[in-house]
């Protein structure tokens, strides 16, 4: 009998950290059940009350009953329990850099997060990034290029094969898309890899089952639909 993880997430359209947690499990092939909580309905604290110390999403309950309420803690615990599941790269040098990139994303890039909330339903037209957002993007492009140059020869992801680092940067790819942020050719290719990834497409389709009125993050800008993907 396979033991199953329980993952608690918020709204798929907006919850960037939920996307990270879900991708970690989905891309690793580990068995898990997804539980939705009312992040924007204001009911999530009550719905997570039985999962102390969790107060935010994502929250993970292991098959042994241990509760994790931090994405880095989730990554390390999953890697510890499943070292061959592709959570981190096998090569020690690549694994060290992947940990570093995931940690920097976990604790940094505040301007990009604050100015560009994740929303995988529309693309804003005419958004002008601040100097701080532009600095975040420059650092992100540097990190992506470094990982790709050193360890990314075997595939489209930062370390060739998909890892936690890609899960952590997936919402950044969505922000670059949603705000039509200017990035170079190599960074744009990496963003496109996320947009056509079957796991993300599954997440995106599920996100469309929920509507939002009022819109949580209004902007005085025109917008166009989220880019369509040819599934043929």
The CATH code of the domain that includes 56 is: 3.40.30.10
Q: How many domains does the chain fold into?
A: 2
Cα angle value 41/47/49 (rounded, 5°): 135
Residues 108 and 54 in one domain: no
Confidence of residue 31 (pLDDT cuts 50, 70, 90): very high
Dist CA 168 CA 215 (whole Å): 25
Pair 156, 210: CB distance under 8 Å: no
Reported as a single tens digit per residue, the pLDDT across 95-145 is: 999 999 999 999 999 999 999 999 999 999 999 999 999 999 999 999 999
Closest CA to 10 of 2, 21, 1: 21
pTM: 0.95
Q: Alpha carbon of 174 to those of 48, 95, 120, 154: distances in Å?
A: 27, 24, 7, 23
Dist CA 159 CA 94 (whole Å): 7
In the prediction, which pLDDT does 42 show? 77
As a dihedral over the C-alpha atoms of residue 86, residue 4, residue 173, residue 117, rounded to 10 degrees, the angle is -150
Confidence of residue 39 (pLDDT cuts 50, 70, 90): confident
In the prediction, which pLDDT does 38 show? 86
Residues 126 and 179 in one domain: yes
Range of the domain at 185: 92-203
In the prediction, which pLDDT does 2 show? 57
Question: Is 226 a domain residue?
Answer: no
In the prediction, which pLDDT does 231 show? 45
Backbone angles phi, psi at 165, to 5 degrees: -60, -40
Reported as a single tens digit per residue, the pLDDT across 179-195 is: 999 999 999 999 999 99
What DSSP designation does 157 have?
Answer: B
CATH number of residue 166's parent domain: 1.20.1050.10
What is the mean pLDDT of the segment spanning 16-23? Answer: 97
Question: Is 10 a domain residue?
Answer: yes
Residues 38 and 118 in one domain: no
Question: Is 216 a domain residue?
Answer: no
Q: Alpha carbon of 26 to those of 7, 21, 122, 157, 188: distances in Å?
A: 11, 9, 24, 16, 24
Question: Is 211 a domain residue?
Answer: no
- Domain boundary, last residue among 48, 81, 114: 81
Res 232 pLDDT > 50: no
Confidence of residue 1 (pLDDT cuts 50, 70, 90): very low
Res 215 pLDDT > 90: no
Pair 58, 74: CB distance under 8 Å: yes
Question: Is 192 a domain residue?
Answer: yes
Residues 169 and 190 in one domain: yes
What is the mean pLDDT of the segment spanning 59-86? Answer: 97
Residues 106 and 36 in one domain: no
What DSSP designation does 127 have?
Answer: -
Question: Is 221 a domain residue?
Answer: no
Question: Is 14 a domain residue?
Answer: yes
As a dihedral over the C-alpha atoms of residue 217, residue 220, residue 224, residue 226, rounded to 10 degrees, the angle is -20
- Domain boundary, last residue among 49, 81, 113: 81
In the prediction, which pLDDT does 227 show? 94
Dist CA 159 CA 161 (whole Å): 6
Residue 160 pairs with which residues in a beta bridge?
Answer: 157
Question: Is 208 a domain residue?
Answer: no
Residues 122 and 73 in one domain: no
Res 222 pLDDT > 60: yes
In the prediction, which pLDDT does 123 show? 97
Residues 107 and 177 in one domain: yes
Average per-residue pLDDT in the chain? 94
């Amino acid at each position: 009998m396979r033991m199953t993880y329980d993952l608690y997430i918020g709204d798929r359209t907006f919850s960037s950290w939920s996307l990270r947690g879900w991708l970690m499990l989905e891309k690793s092939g580990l068995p898990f059940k997804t539980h939705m909580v009312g992040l924007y309905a204001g009911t999530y604290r009550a719905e997570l009350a039985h999962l102390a110390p969790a107060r935010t999403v994502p929250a993970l309950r292991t098959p042994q009953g241990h509760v994790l309420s931090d994405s880095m803690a989730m990554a390390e615990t999953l890697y510890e329990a499943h070292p061959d599941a592709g959570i981190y790269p096998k090569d020690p040098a690549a694994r060290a850099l992947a940990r570093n990139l995931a940690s920097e994303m976990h604790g940094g890039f505040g301007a990009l997060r604050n100015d560009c909330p994740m929303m995988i339903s529309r693309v804003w037209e005419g958004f002008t990034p601040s100097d701080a957002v532009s600095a975040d993007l420059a650092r992100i492009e540097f990190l992506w290029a470094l990982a790709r140059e050193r360890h990314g020869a075997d595939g489209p992801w930062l370390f060739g094969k998909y890892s936690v680092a890609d899960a952590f940067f997936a919402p950044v790819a969505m922000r670059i898309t949603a705000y039509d942020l200017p990035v170079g050719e190599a960074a744009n290719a990496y963003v496109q890899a996320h947009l056509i990834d079957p796991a993300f497409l599954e997440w995106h389709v599920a996100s469309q089952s929920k509507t939002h009125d009022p819109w949580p993050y209004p902007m005085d800008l025109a917008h166009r639909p989220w880019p369509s993907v040819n599934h043929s």
